[in-house]
Amino acid sequence: MATTTPLTAPAQAPEERRSTGNHAGRSKSELLSLYAAISPFYILFAIFGLFPIGFSLYLSFQNWNGIGAMRFVGLAQYQFMLSDPIFWKSIVNTFQIWFISTIPMLFFALVIAFMLNQQIRGRSAYRIAYFIPNVTSIVAIAIIFGSIFSNNFGLLNAALEGLHLDTVEWLNTPWGIKVAIAAMVIWRWTGYNAIIYLAGLQAIPTELYEAAKVDGANLWQVFFRITVPLLRPIILFTVITSTIGGMQLFTEPQVLVGNGGGPGSEGSTMVLYLYQQAFINNQFGYGAAIGWGLFVIMILFSLINWRLVQGAGNRGSRKGVRA
Amino acid sequence: MAPNRRTFLAAASGLLGTALLGTSGCGARGSYLTPEGTISLWYWNRSISDTLLAKTPKATGVRLVPQKIGGDFKSKFLTSLAGKAYIPDIVGLNEDVATYFPDADQFVDLFDVGAKDVESEFLDWKWQRGVTPDGRMVGFPMDTGPTALFYRADLFEKAGLPSEPDQVAQAMDTWEKYLEAGSTLVKKMPKKTYMMPNVDMVYNQALAQQGKRYMDEKNKFIGDGPQVREPWDLAVDAYRRRITSNTNDWTSDWNAAMSTGRVASFVGAVWMGQVLTDAASGTAGKWRVCRAPGGAGNSGGSFLGIPKSCRDPEAAFKVIRYLQSPENQVVYGLNEMQLYPSAIAAIDDRRAQVKDKFYGGQVINEVFGTSAKAVKPVYLSPYDNVVGPAFSDQITNIWSAGKNPDRAWKDALTEADRQLSHLGLI
Amino acid sequence: MNATATQRVWSVVTHVLLLFGVAISIFPFYWMFVMASRTTEDIFKFPPELLPGTHLLENIGKVFDSVNLLGSTANTIFVAVVTTVLVLFFDSIAAFAFAKFDFPAKNLLFVVLLVTFMIPSQLSTVPSFVIMANFGWVGSFQALIVPGAVNAFGIFLLRQYAQGAVSAELLDAARIDGCNFWRQYWHVAVPLLRPALAFLGIFTFINAWNDYFWPLVVLIDPGRQTLQVALSQLNGLYNTDYSMVMAGTLLAVIPLIIVFFLGARQFLADLAAGAVKQ
C-alpha cells in the first residue's frame, strides 16, 4: 500500500477533461471499438428488455387476468390507480422505509469502511464478517427477523420486558412494521456498501493521509476533507443504487409481512403492491399500470437525487483540486 | 476479440429476429414440459404423497411425470397460462379455484371425461366448489378443511370452564357463548393468557360457516348482507372484549403463542392441527378438539384441474381419479400426509378413526367428520380474492389501529364498490 | 510515547466498535445455525434457546431426502460461474469505455442504461417468459444466463470506480506506446480495476446463486433445478418444517462463504501486486 505512487490517485475533474481532450484525434476504428465495448448491454436489452417494456405498456391499457382474452380499457387502469388509496399508501411506505433505512445504512457503511481502511489487524476477517448478511437467503432471514420483532414473543420485546419497559407490537403498528423492514435492509446491505466504499478507499494513496497528518489534521478532518471528497464517485454510485434498490424494495416486506403488506398495508411497497395485484389478484393490466407509475416516480426521484449528489460532488471536487 | 464480437452480434441479431417473429405467441404452442406420451402433473410439497405418485404409472397405465413446484406456485402457473406455453397436463389448484371460472374454457370440462360417474362418492359442497355456475367442472376435489375448535383442556379447566369436548361443544355452541367464555378465561388466568390468537380469526371462521359469501352466482355483490355483517359484528365484539393476543396467522409469533400456552384456543381447519403439532409438540396431550361455535365450516382444501392444452385428457382424468380414490385418500392422504379426505367413504373408513396422543387420545376424526358432512354449500366467486380484503383489511384496522367499527364498515363497502367497478362488475 | 499511546487507545476503540458491528452482522447467522441444529418446536420456545442443539445431522439428512441437493448445487455453480464470467467481461469493457473515453451520444447512452436499471423485474415476468418460450429456452440454463450476462448495475459500479482508479496519464502513455482500446483495457484498466472486479464478481455470483423467482418460473425439469428453487420445495402445503428449511439454507450458504473468502483474499493480494508493479 505504502508504495503506491500518486499515479493511481483517483482521477478528478481535470484528468477527465484531459481524456476528453483526445476526442478529436480518435480514429474510426477506435470509435468502433468503443461502440463494440458497450454494445452487449444494448443488444441484450433490445432483446430481453424492450419487448417486456412495450408489452407491459400495452398491458396497462387492458383488463387482463392472464388467462382469458384481453379487454381494452383505455386509461381506466391509470384512473383507478390515481384514486387507489393503497397505491398512494404504498408510495408513502416505500419512501418512509427508504428514508429510515438508506441514511443510517450508508452512514454506517462509510464509517465501517473508514475504520477498516486504517492499518488494522484482522481486516480480512472483518470484511468477511460484515459481508456475511448479504450472502444468506432472504427467506431464512425473514424467519429470524420475524422472531426478533415478533409481537408477543420476540427477542426485542423480551429485552424490553427485561428492562421493565413497555413492549411494542412491532408487526402490528405502522411504524413498527416499517422499522422492522428497515432493520432488515440495514442489516443486509450495510456491510455490502462498506465493502464498496473500502474498494474505493484503497485507491486513495496513503500519502494523502500522511500529508494531512503532518499538517496536523485530526481524524474527523481527514474523514470529511479527504475521504469523503475523494470517494465522491463511489458515494454517488451507492446513493443511486440504494435509491433504486429502495424504490424496488420487494422481498424484505414480502417475506416479513406477506403479500398484503401486513396490518393496514403498512408494509406494502410499490413493487410488492404491483406483484400482489398481478399475481395474487390476477390483474395483470393493473399491475402493469402500477409498474409504469412506479417507473415515473423513480425517474423523477433519481433525477433529483442525481442533481443533488452530482452538484455537491462537482463543487466538492473543484474545491479539492484547488486545495 | 473481433471474432468473439462478430459471433455475438450474429447470434444476437438472430435472436432479435426470432423475438420479433415470435411475439404473437404462436411459436410456443405445442411446447410441453415432458416428452410425448407422458402426462405432467404440478403439485405442492405434501399435497400428494410421493409414494402414491410413484405407484401411479403402474396402477393406471399412464406415464405420469410429477413435478413438485415450490414457492410461488400460482405465479408460475399463471405465467405459463399467460405465456401459453409449457402448461402442465394436470395442475393442483388451491381453494381459490373459482378465480379460474371466468376462463373455464381454458380447462377441460371434467364432466366430459367422466367425472359424473364418481360424483356421488364425494362431499357435495366440496364437489360444487369446483363447478362453475353454468355447470362446467374445472376442479376435482382433493383435500378439505373442515373446521373445529382447538383448545387447551388444562387451561380451560384452570379458568373454571368446561374442559371435556362434549361439554365444551355444548357450553360454547354459539360464537356469543364462546366469546363470553373468552372473557371469563382472560379474567381468571394470569396476565397475558388469551382466549384466541387474533380478531381476524373470528371474522374468517364465522364467515366460513355461512351459506353465502360476497357475491352470488350471477356475480352480483351481496357482501352487505347479514352473512358478512354477523361475522363482522362478532369480530368487533371479540376486539372489544380484549381476549385476543393479536398474533397473526402464518407467523412465527403464532407458532410461539401455541408453544408457550399464551393462547388457549382457536377455531381452525383440520390442517391447522399439523401446524400445531409441529409448533407445539411440547404441549402434546393438553389439546382437545370439539365442534366449533356457530357450527360446521370449511377453510382451505385443494383441487386438481386439467388445462385445455392437456395432451390426453382421458389419461389425465384416470390419474386424478386414481390419486383421489376413497382408498388412496385414507391411506396416502389422511394417514400419510394428514390431508383430510373429500370422499365420504374415506371419512367413514375404519382406518381413519385413529386415537391421537396429541389430543389426549381423542379420535379427532369424529369431530372433523361431522363437521365435513355438515358444511353448507356456498358459492365462492372468482372475485372473492379482490372483494374479501376490503372487509378483512378493515377488521385489521379496527384491532390494530383502533378504527371506529362503523366507519370501518362504511369504508369496507366503499372499497368493495371501488374494486367491483374496477373489475367492471357494477 | 504519548502519540503511540493515543494510537493504541484509538486502535482499541476501533476494534470495539467494529466487533460490535460484527456481532450484529453475525448474530442472525448464528441463530440460523441454532435453528438448523434444533427441532422445529424448539424454535418457538420462549424464552428462545440460544445454544445450538443436537439435531443438525438429522435435519441435514431430511433435506437430502427431500430435494436433489447435489445435482441442484452443481447446476447452480454452473449457472453462477458462467454468469459471473460474462458479467465481469461485458460490464468492464463497457464501463471502461464510458469512464475514460468520449464518443458521440455517450451521455445519452449512459442515461438510457441507468433508466433501464429502474424497471422492476416483476413487471416483465410474463413477457420474458413468452420470449423464452419462443426461443425454446424454457427449461434450459440459457434462459437464466443470457439475459443476465451483462447488467447496468455492474457497468455503473465499474465506471464510477474506473473514473477514480484508472488515471489518464497511464492511458496516454499506453496510447503513445501504440496500444489500441482493447490493449489499454487489458493491460491498463483490468489490473487497476481488480478490487472492484473482485467485488462485482462476488456480488454477481451471490445474486446468481440466490436468484429464485425467475429460475422458478423458467426452469421446469426437476433434474435441471437450481438450489434455491429446490429448497423452495421444502415448504409444505399447510406447514413448514422450519429447522429443516434452516438446515437447507445453511447448506446453501456455505459455498458462498467459501467463494467470498477466496475472493476476499484475491482482493487483498491484488492490491499488493498492483503496488509492486508501480
Q: Are strands B39-43 and B64-68 parallel, antiparallel or unpaired?
A: parallel
Judged by CB atoms closer than 8 Å, whether chains meet at A19 and C231 is answered as: no
pLDDT of residue A301: 85
Contact C275 A11 (CB under 8 A): no
Q: How far is A264 from chain C (nearest CA, A)?
A: 23
Question: In this structure, which long-range contacts are made by residues B109-112, counting pairs with CB atoms below 8 Å and at least 24 apart in sequence?
Answer: B109/B136, B109/B137, B109/B138, B110/B137, B110/B138, B110/B139, B110/B140, B110/B305, B110/B306, B110/B317, B110/B320, B111/B135, B111/B136, B111/B137, B112/B313
Beta strands in chain A (DSSP E): 62-63, 71-72
Task: Give the chain B residue nearest A77 (alpha carbons).
Answer: B422
* 3-class DSSP assignment, residue C247: helix
Provide the pLDDT confidence category of residue A110 given band limits of 50, 70 and 90.
Answer: very high
The answer to whether B39-145+300-348 and B146-299+356-423 have equal CATH topology is: yes
Q: How do A62-63 and B265-269 pair as beta strands?
A: unpaired
CA count, 13 A, side-chain hemisphere, A158 = 13
Cell of A146: 420475524
Query: B98-107 in b/e burial notation, b at 16+ Cβ within 10 A?
Result: bbbbbbbebb
Mapped onto helix, strand or coil, the DSSP state of residue A62 is strand
C-alpha span between C71 and C55 (Å, rounded):
24
Q: Do C218 and C143 form a contact (C-beta atoms < 8 A)?
A: yes
Whether A21 has a pLDDT exceeding 60, the answer reads no
Q: What is the dihedral of CA C235, C237, C243, C249, to 10 degrees?
A: 0
Q: Does position A139 have pLDDT exceeding 70, yes or no?
A: no
Which residues on neighbouring strands pair with residue A71, listed in sequence order?
Answer: A63
With a cut of 80, say whether residue A317 has pLDDT above it: no
Enumerate chain B positions whose Cβ falls within 8 A of a Cβ in A. 5, 8-9, 12, 15-16, 19, 23, 72, 74-75, 78-79, 81-82, 99-100, 102-103, 105-106, 192, 245-248, 250-253, 256-257, 260, 262, 385-386, 389, 393, 396-397, 400-401, 418, 422, 424
User: Which distant-in-sequence residues (6+ apart) come within 8 Å of C143 by Cβ?
Assistant: C132, C135, C137, C218, C219
User: Which of B5, B16, B192 is facing A36, going by the closest CB pair?
Assistant: B5
Domain ranges for chain C: 62-275
Q: Are the Cβ atoms of A169 and B246 closer than 8 angstroms?
A: yes
Q: SS3 letters for A218-266? A: CHHHHHHHHHHHHCHHHHHHHHHHHHHHHHCCCHHHHHHHCCCCCHHHC
Q: Which candidate, A218, A18, B358, places its Cα nearest to that of C6?
A: A218
Contact A142, A256 (CB under 8 A): yes
Smallest CA-to-CA distance from C105 within A26, A313, A34, A47 is with A34
Rg (CA), chain C: 23
Encoded amino acid at A55, one letter:
F
SS3 of residue C20 by DSSP: helix
Structural contact between residues C157 and C166, judged by C-beta atoms closer than 8 angstroms: no
Q: What pairs with residue B343 in β-bridges?
A: B122
Judging by DSSP bridges, how do beta strands B64-68 and B265-269 pair with one another? unpaired
State residue C3's pLDDT score.
Answer: 67
Best mutation site among C34, C85, C130 for testing chain B: the one with the most B CBs within 10 Å? Answer: C130
Model confidence at A293, pLDDT cuts 50, 70, 90, reads very high
Residues of C in contact with B27 (CB under 8 A): 133-134
**Which of B78, B107, B193, B262 would best serve as a mutation to test chain A binding (most A beta carbons within 10 A)?**
B78
Q: Which residue of C has its CA nearest to B256?
A: C44
> Which of C45, C129, C134 comes nearest B22 by C-beta?
C134
**Looking at chain A from residue 142 to 161, which residues have their Cβ under 8 Å from any Cβ of chain C?**
143-145, 147-148, 153, 155, 158
- Contact criterion met (CB below 8 Å) for B43 and B68: yes
Backbone φ and ψ for B265, nearest 5 degrees, come out as -165, 165
DSSP H helices, B67-225, are 73-83, 124-129, 153-158, 165-171, 175-188, 199-207
pLDDT at C2: 66
Q: Shortest CB distance from A130 goes to which of C21, C113, C114?
A: C21
B307 close to B81: Cβ distance less than 8 angstroms:
yes
Three-state secondary structure call for residue A174: helix
Dig out the grid coordinates for C44 from the structure.
Answer: 418457538
Q: Determine whether the interchain pair C28/A139 forms a contact, defined as Cβ–Cβ distance below 8 Å.
A: no
Q: Does C41 touch chain B (CB under 8 A)?
A: yes
**pLDDT reported for residue A256:** 85
pTM: 0.87
Answer yes or no: is pLDDT of A3 > 60: no
A36 and B23 in contact by Cβ < 8 A? Answer: no
Cell numbers linked to C211: 436468484
Identify the pLDDT of residue A308: 75
For the residues A256-266, what does the mean pLDDT come to? 87
Tens of pLDDT, residue by residue over C56-87, are: 999 999 999 888 889 999 999 999 999 999 99
C-alpha cell, B131: 363447478
CB contact under 8 A, C236 and B46: yes
Q: Which of C12, C19, C25 to mutate to test the interface with A (most CBs of A within 10 A)?
A: C25
**pLDDT for residue B4:** 42
What is the residue extent of each domain of chain B? 39-145+300-348, 146-299+356-423
Mean pLDDT over residues A63-80, rounded?
91
d(CA A48, CA A42): 10
CATH architecture type of domain C62-275: Orthogonal Bundle (1.10)
How far from each other are the two terminal CA atoms of chain B, in whole angstroms? 62
In single-letter form, the type of residue at position B141 comes to P
Q: Which residues pair with B303 in a beta bridge?
A: B93, B141
pLDDT at position C27, please? 86
Q: What count of CB pairs under 8 Å joins A to B?
A: 109
Strand partners, B221: B215
Give percent of chain A above pLDDT 70.
87
How far, in Å, CA of B157 to CA of B384, rounded?
39
Candidate from B16, B386, B422 with C-beta closest to A46: B16
Which chains sit next to C, with 3 or more Cβ pairs under 8 A?
A, B
Q: Which residue of C has its CA nearest to A231?
A: C164
Identify all chain B residues contacting C187, using CB atoms and an 8 Å cutoff.
none
Q: Residues in chain B with pLDDT < 70?
A: 1-30
In this structure, CATH architecture of domain B146-299+356-423: 3-Layer(aba) Sandwich (3.40)
Domain definitions of chain A by residue range: 81-321
- Orientation of helix C190-210 relative to helix A174-201, angle to 10°: 150
B64: left (phi over 0), alpha (psi -120 to 50) or beta: beta
Residue A16 CA: distances (Å) to CA of A234, C113, C172, C173:
16, 21, 12, 15
From residue A204, how far is each of A18, A126, A128, C99 by CA, in Å? 20, 20, 22, 18
Output the average pLDDT for chain A. 82
Nearest to B100 among A47, A67, A147 (CB): A67
- Which pLDDT does position A268 carry in this prediction? 95
| Cα angle B334-B336-B338, degrees, rounded to a multiple of 5 | 45
In this structure, which topology does domain B39-145+300-348 adopt according to CATH?
Answer: D-Maltodextrin-Binding Protein; domain 2 (3.40.190)
C-alpha–C-alpha distance, residues B59 and B57, integer Å: 6
User: Cα–Cα distances in Å, from B71 out to A271, B55, B91, B168, C125?
Assistant: 18, 26, 15, 39, 16
Residues of chain C falling short of pLDDT 70: 1-3, 46, 264-278
Please tell me whether the peptide bond between C47 and the residue prior to it is cis, using omega within 30 degrees of 0: yes
Residues 63-82 on A with a CB inside 8 Å of C are: 66
Fold (CATH) for A81-321: MetI-like fold (1.10.3720)
Angle between helical axes of C125-135 and A51-59 (0-180°, round to 10): 130
